[in-house]
Structure 1
């Protein structure tokens, strides 16, 4: 079991354990603890603990402390309790022990705790309570030594906090800190961190200006607060008295070097390179004056980072030997100066990663092809040969067209290859020479490079690489190279006149059609169609690709256009936009539709009503694609112009209700309606004429949402939504059924099927949280009524809004409704995974379907979110006894009886009979011994432990009996603690147990 070194009354206490309040009673213990080789808890963990105790626990002692009056005058509104102030001083003493090293504090402390620590420092040194980043205006020329130190530390931290946030790729994960030996975590939600950073951003100019002013101060003598500066309070203390004489003086150059470096890093982040260069240059000059043998007291700049900043800002470094990799990058930056010498040296030392050399080769090749720069004629071939040599020596797999390039260069290619090899041959090892000879033999046998074999055989340096058998092979290859080939075989001019190849028209048309199918560029499509327009095609354009299909309303209008370029252009762009939509390339689809709309606008005057009609249809298609894009990116709606889409959707639905206008096709109407529903345009939807199933259902749901927002769920709502669901999923009825409240005849079988289909489609497209909540509660209520079993009811928000019964309940398909609810919940949790009521409902749904392991997972996820990762008490308003009882039943069905027994304690009133039953059912535990130990230590109810002792005694289970006795002994040991501490201990045990369950069922 883990030992919490800082919280009493939770674990067996070791003689070496120091409890947090002992640091208050005996101040000498802090330095003794921190001076250990590996103090556990670490210094930063101590700071977190002192501050969280300070903020989380209620202060019981009424004693307050007045601040000293010999410094800055206090505002008189802040009175700290004795213990709170003592804990603040303890935190500051630990920070002083760490030499105020911001590198350590930024890495180990969450951002809010860093901020609080600085606020406490202001309070102690300046006797003023501040709310960072809004701090009073201080005059640094007249500020005391301790206040000047605090101001500089704050301004440096301010800039560094901005840098850390900008450079951090996994900031939310870094904010989850676990203190060794404890069971709780200090979790900072990303939103809080972002809010702090936003506030800090507004005050950046003040910190930059202040640090620059400090650098200009001439008579400054900086001092640093030491560990002994801070004086602990005693039980008789009535005021704060710090020993400012215990501050130590630091070198002014060291002080300014650190400030210059921090400013340079900030300006680099903001891409203000001139200011960054100025500061890094001065930091480098100051740093060069330091004695390397002496340990710096204030400056924490590392030479490697300083040199890196100098390189980034083009500040020259004296007497620095650059590595080959650095020289390579410098050469690339300097238009490939001395690049060949660098590669030759690397073939000997082999320092540069191969990927850099491959990229160099590709960059030069691309630059020459695109004519971006001019280099020596043979530079690319020389680089390729040097890279080939490096790969031969590394015994790497050789990919690329090296041999093709060498053969294409003729004798020049061989000369360059041997030039590249000559540089390394003298310094090559035996293994290197073996690899070179093996590769040359491979080339002689397979590559057929003219003159290679003779060049190897006649050069003594290379001939020495081969043995006698290999030399024989080279000699035979040399003879083959010298055999004369008849001139007739070297030329294709045999006196036969050449016949030019004449392409047939059908082949040309086919190639243009293929180009049309492959391209999604509107300009290329335009040019291709113009070329095709002059050809004699055998089949219509819309038969070119079988995948080009348009909705019937669109296709009928396009095919009514006069045969020609405009008809083909409209058909292809519409079809290709739909192709792009299927691949989720919504931006490309919208671009094609806008190009078509622009083209049609130019023909509106001359094309008459048909072109105008197609323009309207294309604009609606563009709106539909934008809605799809919005739904795809949900819940992020910033990728779309939502306000424009709202206006256009309303215009589209307005055209539907105006009988004298062109009517949008049904899919467009459905998506416009559900889009307005998701954007919370509920008032508009309720005013629509309810002639269509999809608008009627959207209006009914909108009415419910409006009333919830207005009346907070305290009144019954209109039955329209309820009646539509019953009509959609109820039994088929005859024509004589009564009309719904909207006046439409919803009784026919076909109408019922239409309503069911439209509602099912609408449900899959819902995104807005309130809308989802209403529909989920409606389906959950209907399922509860149809199941009619109180022990298997689903629980969620707003269930009481709906009726308590339905006629002819046996005629409904409860399985269909359950599947629809499951699908809707899955969809809702995809967009809002932290919704506790939905997670609980998903747990309930799995529970009633007998999926007990999945139910446990969702219940635990709901508890994790409700308790902020088990760091806060679980709110009873969200997780009540019913959830715990269902978790107990899940554990029982999964034969995890020990877990079920422990969960019985979570009930408002412990169910001892159920706990005893679960404990007795555990005949043979399948839980590992260490896990059993952990579970027993999570029991805080002595009655359950006493029963376990009797049970294990009766069964002869000695290990479990001793374990239960040990745990009950610990509880009795801590029985003298007050009620608050006992409650806190129970909460810790709860969190530990739930964390263990989460590891089993969630992670």
Structure 2
């Protein structure tokens, strides 16, 4: 009884035809090729016929396609002389002809018949056939055409005589194809040799002989063929020229009378096209240009709509060739001419820009860049042109700006930059040239631009002549109506009135456009109102400058000016946002009302504001000036205290700058550490003047980041902001003294643990920075920079997570975790959620400073998996693997990733529905768990990124591939099964390979899989 579970063969599609059917019924091939989408295709048929051709048993000198060019010419093989190649002669019938079996001959005729169906389009054959098969096809063509056995490449003493079964027309065609392929192969020489590296050494050597054959005889042959095309006819094979063998037709003679005669123009067009490509490849640009031009002229001479049998030139490729040679038949666009002008020292740049004002094709930013480049080149002497060229380019750009952006400030820069030149005629000429190609919107833009120009020029006494000239030009353009011209004349008349003698306001700024006339009394009252308003405007302008300035000298000058205006309020109260620390504020408010009081308060407030914005240099500069101001001899008492407080404020800003720019190391860290010790020394000595607690905390954290732990342990631990840096420093010192498994100092552990008690105040304070709370823990962690301090804090939070979570499947692992206790008293009193959120934020912060710390990446992945973020966890694991292999360039080591991490990655992939990824990851285990493998393979992938057959090239375990083949067979997935079988058949997966080859194969596939994961999860 037949086993119902036994896999059954999948039937082929109804339209699929096997290769041997054409051998049994040769007439069937014509019907097959005439199908719309034949299966197999014409190229696949050629490959099948070549690969199935049997070796010759009659003579060892016969080279067959199936033997992969086993009997090519010797090592010294070269192409024959061109003159001998052109003068082919008919051989006497008595000489020996083909020595092929009937199956060999039948297959060769079929393959040549299919190639003729493709019209011997070498582009198609080159893209679809391997190099070895291309040479096999060429050899078979020469063998049939000459009527005797031919080897490729031709030997130096090759006899070009034709046997009785050959033909002169066919031999000439075959010889032309031979020399064409010889030149074409030079263009893909490197890739062709690389493609045959996996074949036998003898095959590689023979292909290399063909590629190293001298090309000069081929060039001479093709050129002479082009020259003699008018005198000597050229024929190409027709589909019916090849007569297939069958039982009723025993003769092997081909029907050469059916060959088609082509025109000399078609022949020369194709040959010159390939010669031009070869000349370009060998950098013979003059010859390439001549050949490309000859190709184009012969192609243009062909009748339109005619059928071509030999020429296969694509119009787009020909245009690319002509452009590469600089003789394109297409008219250049303005943008192309523009770039060409840039390469030729701005030749014809003015006519190009003038045409672009009509077409508006060149981007305006490119035109502006050219204007600046010309200006720079003329000023440095690199361009030997007068400034007239720059003036013309600028004027044309102004007109283009009118159309692009409108008339807003379009003329200001032009008239100010070129006021010393006759700048009006170029811009008038540019507008007149563009006017005839403008629409309604563009004419309106030009009109408004002219009005602005006329009014602007009228206000300048030295430019009134230009104004009149521009007004006459505007009238001649014919874009203004009579009413508009009258209104423009009236505005010009009003603008000639005398201006008010005030530095900030003129009469032109207060023109009354009403038709009523002002009396002298009204005008005087109007003047007094304006004067008072101008005074207030000046004061407001000075105050605005004081608020925005960033230098101490500017503050000094502006304060002096404001003091002269008799302000009604203290100058330090101008900006309510200026905030001064309390000790300094008390000292400043105790000063008598003076310039020093305002100057000190403003500088302190602005320095604090600049530091908050990240402008540390200007902030320190302001405080340094104020410190110098307080050190003058005439000041004493509170000034000395103020100087010391300012010194600590400067230190605080520099510490903040150092923490913000930690990896750039902008400051002298050793000197900064010494100043931090001096500042903390004031606390230890109990001086009367103490730094602010915020400054003391910053100094302690800075010393902790500099790993200067002994300087911290003797400080007063009762100050709450210093608890964290002091407890961390004590922990590091005890870690250095530890012997054996002794536990570290409990102060840091208990202090950190107290932040996560289930009390509303504490739990709110333990949230990450994004929550907006003022947690002392986060205030400390946000300023941690050293890798060791990050590691210690992460280890404590990770240990708390493991104890509170109490789930071995979601334990976190990290350095220093063995230092902390394994149990907690009353764990329900602590918030696991707060611990997770704080640890997640801290890992992200630490990785932002040290992104290549593999242990933190793996720990972040473990935490994301414990939370339930499978994709984020997978991203962290993949990042760790990619980092550990130096971006997939080094082998994956066990110290980078172990079975524990791999199993977590397998769990993540399975949770995401990527079961094939989980299957491939099982190979990374020390011992493959086939139970997990078979379970994942039996699952249906629910993720579009997990295509099953996309990862076959990443599998190196043959047992796994065998199971996949069996699985596809059960499902009836024939194409996938064949793909898996082809992977099993690769040489590097052979079971008989030594261990070194197996390790290399696994390493290559591991790297390939890691790159695929990186593209999915990291990009």
Q: How does the TM-score come out when normalised to structure 2?
A: 0.55
Q: Aligned to 2:822, which of 804, 808, 814?
A: 804
Shift of 1:704: 3.3
Deviations 1:208-267 (A, max 9, x none): xxxxxxxxxxxxxxxxxxxxxxxxxxxxxxxxxxxxxxxxxxxxxxxxxxxxxxxxxxxx
1:697 partnered with 2:713: no
1:923 partnered with 2:931: no
2:162 matched residue in structure 1: none
CA–CA distance in structure 2, aligned partners of residues 408 and 936 of structure 1 = 70
- Match of 1:915, SS state, is helix
Q: Aligned to 1:623, which of 637, 651, 672?
A: 651
1:658 matched residue in structure 2: 685
2:587 matched residue in structure 1: 557
1:683 partnered with 2:699: no
- Change over 3 Å in CA distance of 1:362–1:571 after alignment to 2: farther
1:503 partnered with 2:520: no
1:283 matched residue in structure 2: none
- Change over 3 Å in CA distance of 1:395–1:519 after alignment to 2: closer
Shift of 1:918: 1.7
1:779 matched residue in structure 2: 797
Q: Is the 8 A contact 2:367 2:397 kept in 1?
A: no
Q: Aligned to 1:937, which of 940, 950, 953?
A: 953
- Match of 1:653, SS state, is helix
- Change over 3 Å in CA distance of 1:629–1:951 after alignment to 2: same
1:672 matched residue in structure 2: 699
CA–CA distance in structure 2, aligned partners of residues 836 and 485 of structure 1 = 76
Shift of 1:627: 0.8
Shift of 1:667: 0.7
CA–CA distance in structure 1, aligned partners of residues 495 and 940 of structure 2 = 97
Deviations 1:396-446 (A, max 9, x none): 55656566799999xx99996446656998x99974999998877666889
Deviations 1:575-601 (A, max 9, x none): 101111121111111111111111111
Shift of 1:994: 1.9
Q: Is the 8 A contact 1:581 1:589 kept in 2?
A: yes
Task: Tell which deviates more after alignment, 818-827 or 696-705.
Answer: 696-705
CA–CA distance in structure 1, aligned partners of residues 758 and 445 of structure 2 = 81
- Change over 3 Å in CA distance of 1:710–1:956 after alignment to 2: farther
CA–CA distance in structure 2, aligned partners of residues 408 and 626 of structure 1 = 44
Shift of 1:602: 1.3
Written as runs of structure 1 = structure 2, the 5 A alignment for 1:970-989 is 970=986, 974-989=990-1005
Q: Aligned to 2:604, which of 566, 574, 587?
A: 574
Q: Is the 8 A contact 1:344 1:386 kept in 2?
A: no
Q: Is the 8 A contact 1:785 1:806 kept in 2?
A: yes
For structure 2, which runs of at least 5 residues remain unmatched after alignment? 1-49, 52-72, 80-124, 132-185, 198-283, 289-338, 456-466, 499-516, 767-772
1:864 partnered with 2:882: yes
Deviations 1:65-92 (A, max 9, x none): xxxxxxxxxxxxxxxxxxxxxxxxxxxx
- Match of 2:891, SS state, is coil
- Change over 3 Å in CA distance of 1:799–1:630 after alignment to 2: same
Shift of 1:859: 0.3
1:996 partnered with 2:1012: yes
Aligned residues: 659
1:607 matched residue in structure 2: 636
Q: Is the 8 A contact 2:724 2:748 kept in 1?
A: yes
- Change over 3 Å in CA distance of 1:602–1:902 after alignment to 2: same
- Match of 2:635, SS state, is helix
- Match of 1:984, SS state, is helix
Deviations 1:523-549 (A, max 9, x none): 121122234445544333443222112
CA–CA distance in structure 2, aligned partners of residues 656 and 971 of structure 1 = 75
- Change over 3 Å in CA distance of 1:598–1:949 after alignment to 2: same
Written as runs of structure 1 = structure 2, the 5 A alignment for 1:248-263 is none
Written as runs of structure 1 = structure 2, the 5 A alignment for 1:324-723 is 347=354, 358=368, 383=391, 387-388=395-396, 391=399, 396-397=404-405, 399=407, 401=409, 417-418=424-425, 431=437, 455=472, 498=524, 501=528, 502-503=531-532, 509-533=539-563, 536-602=566-632, 606-608=635-637, 610-637=638-665, 639-706=666-733, 708=735, 715-723=742-750
CA–CA distance in structure 2, aligned partners of residues 488 and 622 of structure 1 = 55
Q: Aligned-residue CA RMSD in angstroms?
A: 5.5
1:827 matched residue in structure 2: 845
- Match of 1:778, SS state, is helix
CA–CA distance in structure 1, aligned partners of residues 929 and 748 of structure 2 = 41
Q: Is the 8 A contact 2:371 2:390 kept in 1?
A: no
Shift of 1:359: 6.9
Task: Tell which deviates more after alignment, 489-498 or 507-516.
Answer: 489-498
Shift of 1:550: 2.2
Task: Return the index of the structure with the highest Cα Rg.
Answer: 2
2:35 matched residue in structure 1: none
- Change over 3 Å in CA distance of 1:28–1:397 after alignment to 2: farther
Shift of 1:679: 1.0
Q: Is the 8 A contact 2:709 2:729 kept in 1?
A: yes
CA–CA distance in structure 1, aligned partners of residues 493 and 680 of structure 2 = 83
Written as runs of structure 1 = structure 2, the 5 A alignment for 1:859-938 is 859-920=877-938, 922-923=939-940, 926-927=943-944, 931-938=947-954
CA–CA distance in structure 2, aligned partners of residues 997 and 529 of structure 1 = 63
CA–CA distance in structure 2, aligned partners of residues 528 and 767 of structure 1 = 41
1:729 matched residue in structure 2: 756
CA–CA distance in structure 1, aligned partners of residues 677 and 195 of structure 2 = 59
CA–CA distance in structure 2, aligned partners of residues 536 and 819 of structure 1 = 57
Written as runs of structure 1 = structure 2, the 5 A alignment for 1:745-764 is 757-764=775-782
Shift of 1:990: 1.6
CA–CA distance in structure 1, aligned partners of residues 803 and 818 of structure 2 = 12
- Change over 3 Å in CA distance of 1:365–1:996 after alignment to 2: closer
Shift of 1:506: 6.5
- Change over 3 Å in CA distance of 1:682–1:292 after alignment to 2: same
- Change over 3 Å in CA distance of 1:888–1:482 after alignment to 2: closer
CA–CA distance in structure 2, aligned partners of residues 985 and 486 of structure 1 = 91
- Match of 2:532, SS state, is coil
- Change over 3 Å in CA distance of 1:538–1:923 after alignment to 2: same
- Change over 3 Å in CA distance of 1:357–1:400 after alignment to 2: farther
- Change over 3 Å in CA distance of 1:877–1:389 after alignment to 2: closer
Shift of 1:812: 0.8
CA–CA distance in structure 2, aligned partners of residues 345 and 959 of structure 1 = 59
